[in-house]
Amino acid sequence: MIEIVDLKKSFNGKKVLDGVNLKIERGKITVIIGRSGEGKSVLLKHIIGLLKPDSGSIYLDGIDITKLDEKELNRIRRRFGMLFQGSALFDSMTVEENVAFPLVEHTDLPMEEIRAVVREKLRLVGLVGVEKMMPADLSGGMKKRVALARAIAMDPEIVLFDEPTTGLDPIMSDAIARLILDTQRNLHTTYVVITHDIPLTYKIADCVAMLHQGKIIECGTVEEIRRTSNPVVRQFLEGRAEGPIKVA
C-alpha cells in the first residue's frame, strides 16, 4: 500500500534520513521503532507530505506523493488520519469541535449528523460526556483518545501515530494499546505507529521496522524481530546502555 524508496532528508547539513526503504502493508499495524532523535517523526511527516524529501519517493497505491502539488496532496491527505505526539488538539475549541473539525471542513453534513458522528467516534475511544470540555481540562490519556477520535473522524484508510504512549503511565499506555488494537480491528484500517515503547510494540505490531542512523536496519514480524541476531536491534529491544549503540 505504502512503499518508501531510498528516502533521504537532511537538516542544516545533518543527515536524518539516509536512504529509508520500507513497505507498509494494507490493513496491518506497522510499528517503526528507533531511538529518540533518529528521525522517526520526520519519516512520519514525509508519509503524509508535511515534509518534502531531498531525494527518494513514497508511493501510495503506486502514486509518488513526494511529486504532488499542494492541491493533489490535500486530496491524498483526506485518506489519512494522524495522531500527534502532544495530541495537537486545538486549544481554542471544545472536544466536540476538535473531533468535528475535519468533518466541518471537508463535508456538507448537517451539524446534527456531525454531532452524531462525533459522539460515535468518542464512544469508540471510550469517552462519553466530554463533548463540551476544553482540551486544557483533559488528562494526557484523555487528550490522546480525543486526538485518536479526531484522527478517525473521517474514516481514513491510513492512520499515523506519533509516539502514542509518550508521557503516559503504564496503565494508560496499555489502555491506549488496546484502543489501537480495537479500533484497527473494527475499522480494518492501516496503522503506522512510531514509538520507542517496546511493550507497546509487542502488544500491537503485525510488522516491526527499526530505524537506525537514517536507515531501516531490520524489518519483520514481532517473532522475527525478537529472534534477530542483529546486535543493534537486540540492544535496543533489551534496553541496554552497553552495546554497539553508544550513548552520547
Partner 1 sequence: MTGILEYLGRLAEGLVLHTGRMGTMLFQAFMWLFVPPFKFRNLFRQMEFVGVKSMFVVILTGSFTGMVLALQSYNALRRFGAESLVGPTVALSMTRELGPVLTGLMVTGRAGSAMATELGTMRVTEQIDALAAMAVNPIKYLVTPRLLAGVLMLPVLTVIADFVGIVGGYVIGVRVLNINPGTFIGRIMDFVKVEDIFNGLIKSVFFGLILTLVACYNGYHASGGAEGVGRATTVTVVLSSVLILVFDYFLTSIMFSS
CB of residue 248 vs partner 1: minimum separation in angstroms? 21
Contact flag: residue 89 with partner 1 (CB under 8 A): yes
Alpha-carbon span 103 to 7, nearest angstrom: 32
Alpha-carbon span 28 to 209, nearest angstrom: 13
Alpha-carbon span 86 to 83, nearest angstrom: 9
Task: Pick the closer one to partner 1 by CB: 110 or 239.
Answer: 110
Task: Pick the closer one to partner 1 by CB: 36 or 92.
Answer: 92
CB of residue 221 vs partner 1: minimum separation in angstroms? 29
Number of residues that bind partner 1 (CB under 8 A): 22
Radius of gyration of the chain (CA): 18
Contact flag: residue 94 with partner 1 (CB under 8 A): no
- Could you tell me what percentage of the chain is helix, strand and coil, using 3-state DSSP and rounding each to the nearest 5? 40, 25, 35
Q: Which of residues 41-70 bind partner 1 (CB under 8 A)?
A: 45, 48, 50, 70
CB of residue 163 vs partner 1: minimum separation in angstroms? 11
Residue spans of beta strands (DSSP E) within the chain: 2-11, 14-24, 29-33, 55-60, 63-64, 80-83, 158-162, 190-195, 207-212, 215-220
Contact flag: residue 90 with partner 1 (CB under 8 A): yes
Helix and strand counts by DSSP (H, E) for the chain: 9, 10
Cell numbers at residue 182, please?
480495537
Task: Pick the closer one to partner 1 by CB: 108 or 112.
Answer: 108
The one among 29, 46, 84, 142 contacting partner 1 by CB under 8 A: 84
Q: What is the contact surface with partner 1 in residues (CB under 8 A)?
A: 45, 48, 50, 70, 74-75, 77-78, 80, 82, 84-86, 88-92, 101-102, 105-106
